[in-house]
Chains A and B, each alone.
Chain A
Amino acid sequence: MMKFICILLAGIVTCMGITGFFSDPVPQQPSPAASIARGKNVYETYCLACHQADGSGVQRLNPPLIKTSFVLGDKKTLIGIVLNGLDQEIEIDGEVYNNVMASHDFLKDQEIADVLTYVRNSFGNKASAVLPEEVTKQRAVNKK
């Protein structure tokens, strides 16, 4: 019986070892601080005019970016909005927003990752960084 347990344990240890050996190393999370700083520049060039310096948006026209489900929710959806733009009425906290957001697919994957990381960590928001790989992946499946 004891022998069986030993074999089992050995097996588990071995398995763990093998798994560790074959799996990729945990991806190194790039410093969000650097991404946020770069993202601020992108935001000021392409986003601020409509969404405003404090992310508060413009009543009836441009939605706020402060703690909304669009900003803090599914990253794929958020990346999709930057790539495709948004031309539909949306409602946030009882206010309706109608202005057209143009597609920003001309931005590089890194720029989109940076600006979304900035937005998700500014204006009172706190959410995980958006990585360039996530944008690349979304762009590949995004073909309109």
Chain B
Amino acid sequence: MVQIQAKMMNVLLLFTLFLNTESCFSTDTTDYHTGSPAASTITLPAGFSSTVFYENLGRARHLAVEANGDVYVKLERLKDGKGIYKLTDTNKDGVADRSVGFGDYTGTGMAIKNGYLYASSDEGVFRYSLKTDINAETQPEKIVIGLWNRRQHAAKSITLDDAGNLYVNIGAPSNVCQVEDRKNASPGRTPCPILDSAGGIWQFKADQQNQSYPQGSRYATGLRNVVGLDWNASANDLYAMQHGRDMLFQSYPALFNQQEGAENPAEEMFRLKKGADAGWPYCYFDNGKKQKLMNPEYGGDRNTPGVCPGKTPSIVQFPGHLAPNALLFYTGTMFPEKYRNGAFIAFHGSWNRSPEPQEGYYVVFVPFKDGMPSGKWEVFADNFAGPGKAQGKADFRPTGLAQGPDGALYVSDDQKGNIWKITYSGK
């Protein structure tokens, strides 16, 4: 009897193995979600509501929404071997019920333009035609290749204009271009050699393959690291959010006390014309003095404007270290009038305000008129972090923003991989 049972177990085991092997070789990554959707815990202004469109996608970075409502999300870490997921809400209840993974590379950038999906790795940009269904076997065109990836600030964020151009941020692999990166009292280098290949936004053709530095052009320079950037079609200009430098208090306690170190430098928004120079690494924006001043590594003492008055001024300044990871100009009609053509910014949340309390972990809104800010910024969506904003304890960290064809706003999180869909009904 025991023997028979054992034999049956073996057969069962073999059968199970067979089933598993089947799923191993299967190329269909479609999965259908069942079960009740998670409740959204983020807070919004009156009249807005949200659903958790998808959860636990992992390191979800930027996202883009197709005209049919399908949501594409770029991952910083492969999930089941895939780096991009297409999420579909087939029954239109605000929750995706179908996901398909493709692309075997990690990265941050995700954008849709003229029937193509653009995705970035930390070295370049790929694109896929949306005319046919993308599946796990679809091979993308390589649009941009061979960009600097030196680990620090390696994410390549992207946006496209209406004239066939692709903009790619190449972050500087450095804090402030010192002789020895991040070392106390190590002087800044003049001129900063990094700026030849990074620390700016490069322009490429949106439809040409295998472009690299020689085929592209440096559109704007003097930007330490930009993760959030967007082409504002109504102003016909490129806008970008810079991640400001670290360690002012730690490196220069005689100039910045602990709290001033947490508040400085400003995280800045720039409107960038071709040839703009935002001033990094020579300048920083001092939130206390309300002006752009020389960095201490370049002889600054919190009073010296130096070369900074000649640099492109920022158009909005935020408190220090909030880490702006996405910028989106709202062009929909679902949200009330005040939001039209205004800017949403996803702040990933700070870590280097320690030992001061951390800040950020929210989506803010800046009203705009004629391409320039027309009022003070305000927190739009909050409570992503959960009970506290302690470093490393945040439940979710806003990272990507996208607008749906109906005007809904999507927010991604790269802590657990949640995607929220925010809608307005006025109720």
Contacts and interface: CB of A to CB of B under 8 A. Distances in A.
Q: Do A and B make up one complex?
A: yes
Interface of A: 44-46, 48-50, 52-53, 56-59, 61-62, 85, 87, 89, 98-103, 106
Contact of A52 (B152, B247, B250, B354): B354
Contact of B354 (A53, A85, A98): A53
A103 B180 contact: yes
A44 B354 CA distance: 10
B414 to A, nearest CB: 9
Nearest to B246: A49
Given A46-B250, A100-B152, A56 B391 contact: yes
A49 B152 contact: no
B183 A102 contact: yes
Most buried by A among B180, B181, B184, B351: B351
A100 B354 contact: no
What is the predominant secondary structure among interface residues of chain B facing chain A?
Answer: loop
Interface string B332-361: 000000000000000000011011000000
B369 interface: no
B151 interface: yes
Interface string B143-167: 0000000011010000000000000
Contact of A53 (B151, B181, B182, B355): B355
A52 B391 contact: yes
What is the predominant secondary structure among interface residues of chain A facing chain B?
Answer: loop
A106 B184 contact: yes
Nearest to A54: B392
A85 B184 CA distance: 12
B250 A58 contact: no
A49 B181 contact: no
A44 B391 CA distance: 16
Interface residues of B, number: 21
23 contacts: A44-B355, A45-B250, A46-B184, A48-B354, A49-B247, A49-B250, A52-B391, A56-B392, A57-B392, A58-B351, A58-B392, A59-B392, A85-B180, A98-B152, A100-B182, A101-B182, A102-B182, A102-B184, A102-B186, A103-B180, A103-B183, A106-B184, A106-B185
Given A46-B250, A58-B392, A98 B151 contact: yes
B397 to A, nearest CB: 9
Most buried by B among A45, A46, A49, A85: A49
Nearest to B185: A106
Interface string B132-152: 000000000000000000011
Contacts of B175: 100
Contact of B352 (A46, A50, A59): A50
B391 A100 contact: no
A142 to B, nearest CB: 16
Given A62-B351, A98-B154, 15 more contacts: A44-B355, A49-B250, A49-B354, A52-B354, A52-B392, A53-B355, A59-B392, A85-B180, A98-B151, A100-B152, A100-B181, A100-B182, A102-B183, A103-B183, A106-B185
Nearest to B76: A60
Contacts of A99: 152
A102 B175 CA distance: 11
A100 B351 CA distance: 15
Most buried by A among B186, B249, B250, B354: B354
B320 to A, nearest CB: 13
